[in-house]
Amino acid sequence: MQLTGAEIVIECLKEQGVDTVFGYPGGSILNVYDALYKHSDEITHILTSHEQGAAHAADGYARATGKVGVCFATSGPGATNLVTGIATAYMDSIPVVAITCNVGVALLGKDSFQEIDITGITLPITKHNYIVKDVKDLADTIRNAFRIAMTGRPGPVLVDIPKDVTANLAEYVQAEPLPIPAASNICEEDVETALSMITEAEKPYIFVGGGAVLSGASEELYTFAHKIDAPVTDSLMGKGAFPGTDELYTGMLGMHGTKTSNYGVSKCDLLIVIGARFSDRVTGNVKKFASNAKILQIDVDPAEVDKNIMTYASIIGDIKEVLHILNTRTEEKAHTEWRRTISEYKEKYPLTYHKEKLTGPFVVEEIYRQTSGGAVITTEVGQHQMWAAQFYKYTKPRTFLTSGGLGTMGDRKSVV
């Protein structure tokens, strides 16, 4: 059937199962908003006060649900206002599709009113981006955008559509979303090396990052940690992937982490890094980080291996799948003495604060008590963010929504 470009946009969102979009209207994107209004019973539009809020809200929606977040913005300043939110999603590997509209095709490249090269601007902070100059290409472009956002290491994709393309007609044929392809073929030799390292280790430690959350690997991670009897630490983005109430958990790692985790990683002979990218906030002096350990890194993105810290071995693949393989082929092993050492660290170096007066840590712990640990916590960036990471015990993934890599100020206000 013949539909306008704007109607094709909405139909493609429905194909992808989108139920919520965040945005702020403007002249160039009005055709899309008119089409969206006709489907308001199927797709809820959340009007934000600013386009940056729309990008952050889409980011927060994706973090909380595991689905692709979607935001709308008009041309020029509307599109550029999305940049900080897109960069936030890019740094933390969050799947977002940003749809912007531009001036008409004939006005592109002429410094027209509210024209901006948003694809050029966002090239370094997106997995991919598009400008669609022919309405016939629109449906497949949007479908590809969603597919790219979720394939492998997730991330944001931007689709820019000139205003006349949203008004032009094209034949639209509904299509079912294609399955997301497997992240990679997991190398058997790498698995064998990892199994050998795990078997030989006497003092293993597990360091968990946001990749374990994105992969949905919490159950596999729990089984793995208990099977090899290894203490577990996490990054800011890894919160909730492993239960913060578990006896194996030692708190966050790095400059804002616990002494137990930092001492433990310094003393371990095998550090198994699962979906973490060795942020400078974690490693400190890279020459001294885990200096007594062989490092085994498990990640979906080969570009992360040996980028910041040199590893002894690695496995490239979806974390959930890799852990499933390791769990089926790893024998249970107890590390009694090592666990006792870590327990002594936990007892000697607990997280403390002044309890004779009202403090941030007390407030966070009280929220934990009042909610029985069942809240979804969202923060801005700064000291309160660290208190929320340190003093709230996250037991489930996607319950701590915060900016990690970019450290974006003001972002989470748009999520609540």
Strand partners, 161: 101
* Residue 411 banded pLDDT, cuts 50, 70, 90: low
Alpha-carbon torsion angle 388, 392, 395, 397, nearest 10: -10
Residue 179, judged by CB atoms within 10 A of its CB (0-12, 13-18, 19+), counts as exposed
Q: Are 58 and 27 in contact (CB under 8 A)?
A: no
Q: Under the phi-then-psi rule, with left for phi > 0, alpha for psi from -120 to 50, and beta for the rest, what region is 274?
A: beta
pLDDT attached to residue 412: 53
* Residue 181 banded pLDDT, cuts 50, 70, 90: confident
pLDDT attached to residue 279: 94
Q: Are 252 and 209 in contact (CB under 8 A)?
A: no
Beta strands 400-401 and 156-162, pairing class? unpaired
pLDDT in tens, 255-298: 999 999 999 999 999 999 999 999 999 999 999 999 999 999 99
2-171 shares its CATH topology with 188-350:
yes
* Residue 413 banded pLDDT, cuts 50, 70, 90: very low
Whether residue 313 is predicted with pLDDT greater than 80 in this model: the reply is: yes
Mean pLDDT of 152-164: 97
Which is nearest to 397 in space by CA: 221, 206, 180?
221
394: its two tokens: 């996250």
Q: Are 144 and 126 in contact (CB under 8 A)?
A: no
CATH number of 188-350: 3.40.50.1220
Which is nearest to 27 in space by CA: 82, 98, 79, 92?
79
Per DSSP, the three-state class of 76 is coil
Task: Report how far apart, in Å, the C-alpha atoms of 354 and of each of 70, 359, 369 are.
Answer: 43, 7, 18
Which residues are CB-contacts of 70 (< 8 A; sequence separation ≥ 6)? 13, 18, 20, 21, 22, 58, 96, 97, 98, 99
* Residue 182 banded pLDDT, cuts 50, 70, 90: confident
* Alpha carbons 295 and 282: distance in angstroms, whole number: 15
Give first-to-last CA distance, the chain, whole Å. 39
For the ranges 127-141, 290-304, 361-375, 397-411, the lowest mean pLDDT is seen at 397-411
Could you give the angle at which helices 336-348 and 259-267 cross, rounded to 10 degrees? 150
Mean pLDDT of 199-212: 98
For the ranges 33-42, 74-83, 404-413, the lowest mean pLDDT is seen at 404-413
pLDDT in tens, 341-366: 999 999 999 999 998 899 999 999 99
Could you tell me the residue ranges of all domains in the chain?
2-171, 188-350, 351-416
State the alpha helices, DSSP H only, in 92-245: 118-122, 138-150, 163-167, 188-200, 210-215, 218-228
Whether residue 248 is predicted with pLDDT greater than 60 in this model: the reply is: yes
291: its two tokens: 């200096």
DSSP state of 330: P
pLDDT attached to residue 386: 97
With a pLDDT cut of 90, the percent of the chain lying above it is 96
At the top level of CATH, the class of 2-171 is alpha beta
